[in-house]
Each structure stands twice: as structure tokens, then as C-alpha cells.
Amino acid sequence: MTNTAPLDSRFYAPLGPARLATLRVLTGAFAVIYFVVRSPVMASFRGFRPTQFEPVGLARVLDAPLPAGWVLALYLAAIGFGLLFTLGAFFRVSGPAFALLALWVTSYRNSWGMVFHTDNLLVVHLCLIALSDAARALSIDARGRPEPAPDPRFGWPVRLIAAVTVMVYVLAGIAKLKASGFVWMDGDTLRNYIAYDALRKQQIGSIHSPFGAWLVQYAWPFPIIGTLTMVLELGGPLALVHPLAARLWVLGVYGFHIGVLATMAIAFPYPLSGIAFLCFFECEKLWRWRGLKRLARWLDGGKITDADGGGTLNRS
């Protein structure tokens, strides 16, 4: 026994390849669909003047906006590599390539004076999946190969994705502590932000939340909501300790995002899809659903054959 054994038993423990592969398929599919649906704001920036260009992320290599043709070409390349990433084809190349292109597309989108916070977690997850052995199951690359046995190489990336997910929420909690302290929990700040959000959206003729506009007329819910928000954000690491804590935390954070949508009409698509939190669950069991089983069988080249999932999925 080495002194790292306790850490290894939690973090570097063996796991079947299906869970990591499931994260690859679903995160990749989400990213591709998201990029396609959001194409008006991700593939074209004609509405902006060059003086508005404030590069962030990968776009920092630029001094000025790219020609429109390059922007479109890189966006289309991201979609193409995203499909290969999702299908697990040529993953050693397509994995890192898609992660980089997704980082590029989202960086460029965020480089016009407004840093959105809706894409961060998705991009980080894609990068971590790209750095792992995520195409050894449920992939075109894995067709015709023997099923790998459970191995630490399929386990640590899943646990790392969970840890990073928690960390992002902890960072949001730390930001509130740094800027406002624990007084943030009294709810006044949150109430005023919700009111301000509805006000400015009304003034710009955009969709705002009537529910939020109504709710801010009452002070009493906000200390409760503010306290719950801080507890969820700063208490995130508990989700890494026990599966039950993880379920409760995911439920709470998902409810938090529903609340943000309901009160401010601000959608965080990746967390709201639920895919951001699949790393906390035995998500490979999703393929046992009748509709998805056929897709899994096609991806895996027929390895998944028996009635309750079978093959790779039973080894996870």
C-alpha cells in the first residue's frame, strides 16, 4: 500500500468505458445542436462594429475581427469535428480538434464586449473529455475491437469532470463572498438584480420574466433564495463525498437554474439540459431505454445486444 492508496481508491478506481463514452456522446451532441441552433449569434457578427471587438479566450491572438468568411469556416469546422467527436470517429484527432474549435467559436462569440457565462462549463467539459480515452466504447473507433475491461483510465476523467463542475459553482459563491460578503444572503442584492434585469429588458423591448417582476414586489422570499443559493454554491464539494449528497446537490443546482430562468428569463442551456450533471450518475444506463438502445447498438457496431443493455454497459 502506498500513501496515495486512499486517493487512488476514490479517484483512480477502475470504471467501465461506457460512462465516459456516454458523456462524450451526449456532451458532443449537445454542443453540436447548441452551435447549430445558436448559429445566428455564433457564426455571424455583422451587427458589430470593429471598435467593439474585445478579444477573450483563444480570440486574444487577434488584434482585429476576422473576415466573415474565416469566422464561418471555423464555425463549420467546429460543427464537422463535433459530429466526429460525438460519433467517436478518429477521436485522437477529432477530440482535441473539436475541443479547440469549440473553445474558438465560444471565445469569438464572447469577444464583443459581453462575456456570457453560459458556455464556460460546456467548453471545459469538452476539453476534459478530449484529453481522455472516451472513445473506447459507443464509438465508431471501437467497432471491431474487443470490449475493454473496467480500468482507471475510464474512471478518473468522469470524477474530474464532476470535480470541475462543482468548482465552477464554488467560484460563483466565492465571487459573492468577495464582492458582498455573507450579507449577500439577506436577499436584497438578488432581489434588486432580478428587478434590474426585468427593467432593462422592458426598456430594450426584449422578453422579460413577468414572474420575476411580480416576485420582486415581495421581500420575504429573497433571504431564503439568497441563503439557498450560497449554500448550494459553497457546499458543492459535498457532492463529491457521497452519491446521495451528489443527487441532492444536482437537484438543488438544477432547481437554481430553473429559478434563474423563471425569474430572469436567463437560460443556461447546458446545465438546464441536465447533461452537465450526468457525470454524477450512472448515465450509461440511459442506453437501456428502448429508443436509445438502437442508437447505442449502431454506435457500438452491434456489441450491445441483450435486452437489458448488455455488453459494454453491463461492465460499467
| Contact set with another protein (CB under 8 A) | 8, 11-12, 40-41, 44-45, 47-49, 51-52, 56-57, 103, 106-107, 110, 112-117, 119-120, 123-124, 128, 131, 152-153, 156-157, 160, 163-164, 167-168, 170-172, 174-176, 178-180, 183-184, 189-193, 195-196, 198-207, 213, 216-217
Q: How far is the CB of 254 from another protein (least distance, A)?
A: 18
Sign of the torsion formed by the C-alpha atoms of 213, 215, 219 and 223:
negative
CB closer to another protein out of 140 and 160:
160
Name the residue nearer to another protein (CB basis): 196 or 289. Answer: 196
Of 275 and 304, which has the nearer Cβ to another protein?
275
Q: Give the shortest CB-296-to-another protein separation in angstroms.
A: 26
Q: Shortest Cβ distance from residue 230 to another protein (Å)?
A: 11
Query: Least CB distance from residue 53 to another protein, whole Å?
Result: 12
Of 119 and 141, nearer to another protein (C-beta) is 119
Q: How far is the CB of 201 from another protein (least distance, A)?
A: 6
User: Shortest Cβ distance from residue 184 to another protein (Å)?
Assistant: 8
Q: Which is nearer to another protein, 47 or 291 (CB)?
A: 47
Output 97 or 304, the one with its CB closest to another protein.
Answer: 97
